[in-house]
Chains A and B, each alone.
Chain A
Amino acid sequence: MDLTIEVAHDEHEQVRKVVLIGEIDAYTAPKLKETIVPLTEENGVEVVIDMHAISYMDSTGLGVFISALKSTKEHGSSLTFMNPQERVYRLFKITGLTEIMNIQTDYTVRGGM
């Protein structure tokens, strides 16, 4: 299984929407890192990652998102995750990342994409 990454730039809104489809593991994580981390390096930008079509993610995927989060703090940008599937959400929850990352699910909706 592969990973597809679609990035939509919206210059006026300062929002970068990223739609991820497929699986995130040790093989696809480097590609994900190359795309996501540079997006967070622009001051004031909000990176929104649509996770609903990710059917599997392992800890290497979390590693990528952790380095993206560290990068937002360094560059004054922000990161939001939308609707991860239950199994993926569980990984964020167990690792304590739900406490420090902005993750919006259907049950905690504060506005859609």
Chain B
Amino acid sequence: MSTLKLDVNSYRDLLKQYIEYQDEQALYRAEQFSKQAIQHNISPDEIVDVYIQSLLDLYPDLSPSVKHSLNFLLETMISFGMAYQEFQALREKQLELQSEISVAANMQQTLLSTTKPNIPNMDLGAISAPAKQMNGDYYHFVEDEQGSLGIAIADVIGKGVPAALCMSMIKYSMESFPHSRMEPGVILEGMNRVVERNVDPSMFVTMFYGLYDGRNHEFHYSSAGHEPGFYYCAAEDAFYDIEAEGLVLGVDRKVTYHQYVQQVAPGDMVILLTDGVTECRVNDRFIEREEICEVLSQYKHLSAQEMTEQVYRYFERLQDFHLRDDFTMIILRRDV
């Protein structure tokens, strides 16, 4: 409060200068004064109080009715000042929460990080971008003891913190599977039991698991209700849906997952994605799967990583750089 008292004198001089000359400079300095007041958390009623004191200093013979009216103004400003203090406290709390969430988001990034393995004759690309600070999408690469590459991609219903918490659970359950042989159907059955036991009834997870065997170039896969990916056949220069039936994780404990197999020829690609890509809405229009294939086709001369980045940028631009859902895409290409 002492700093404000020091300022009463300068405020009074300022007021006097303005009343006498009505000059711009005094107005400018008054503005500076109010900015300083905000910086020092001085409430509106305190400023009115300073104003009344200055006015009484300048005009000691002020009529009693004006004095009363000024006190009346002061009273009404007090509740205003309280609201302002409350606002300040909320703003501090919000900043605190924001920084907590960004710490959590960083932590999540470290937790969910996966290294893209270098596999001979295989070009891999992956991108995952959250709509908000925290990501409800997840992907993971793992090499098993036979040199096969396991790829997991999953999407938790919803966005933000709850989805991210659930995702961390998925990550740890995945890690606990023995790395001897990662059969897609077996993995999804295991994950289904984990999700069913541990999440709220209205929460569920979609997941796709693929296993690429580099020795015979077979891609084995199973899907738990996940958005179908695309298979690019280089010989025909055509995209096909990767069809796979299976119930989402967390609904029925006893469900089993059928395992499919696809022979991968040189130059062929497996493209996996989450529904943040297909459920992308531009104004009132939905992105059709054909459009995704057209965009993929446009960039197919690039490396797998560059392709995922270009496709992401295309959809980001389309949605005015404001993603509505988490976006994840993985591309695996057998080199020629």
Contact = CB atoms under 8 A, between A and B. Distances in A.
Contacts of B204: 59, 62-63, 66, 95
Contacts of A71: 201
B227 A70 contact: no
- Majority-rule SS of A interface residues: helix
B245 interface: yes
Contact of B228 (A60, A63, A94): A94
A58 B202 CA distance: 13
Interface string B215-257: 0000000001111100000000000000001111001100000
Contacts, number: 58
Most A CB atoms within 10 A — which of B158, B201, B227, B275? B201
Contacts of A70: 201, 251
B206 interface: yes
B46 interface: no
Interface in A72-106: 87, 94-97, 99-100
Interface string B189-206: 000000000001111101
Given A59-B157, A63-B203, A66-B202, A95 B247 contact: yes
B286 interface: yes
Given A26-B158, A59-B158, A87-B286, A97 B203 contact: no
B248 A95 contact: yes
B157 A96 contact: no
Given A59-B275, A66-B201, A66-B251, A96 B228 contact: no
A96 B202 contact: no
B292 to A, nearest CB: 15
B279 interface: yes
B225 A96 contact: yes
A64 interface: yes
B201 A95 contact: no
A34 to B, nearest CB: 12
B158 A100 contact: no
- Interface size range of chain A in the complex: 20 to 34
A87 B252 CA distance: 24
B247 A100 contact: yes
Contacts of B275: 59
Contacts of A97: 225, 247-248, 251
A67 B158 contact: no
Contact of A95 (B159, B206, B279, B286): B206
A11 to B, nearest CB: 28
Contacts of B252: 100
Contact of A94 (B158, B203, B225, B251): B225
A33 B202 CA distance: 9
Given A26-B158, A100-B247, A64 B202 contact: yes
Contacts of B279: 58
A87 B285 CA distance: 12
Contacts of B206: 59, 95
Interface in A22-56: 26, 33
A99 B257 CA distance: 13
A62 B201 contact: no
Q: Give 10 nearest A-B pairs by CB, closest first.
A: A96-B247, A95-B225, A67-B202, A67-B201, A63-B202, A59-B157, A96-B225, A95-B248, A70-B201, A63-B157
Given A63-B157, A96-B246, 14 more contacts: A58-B279, A59-B157, A59-B158, A63-B158, A63-B203, A64-B202, A67-B200, A67-B201, A95-B247, A95-B248, A96-B225, A96-B247, A100-B247, A100-B252
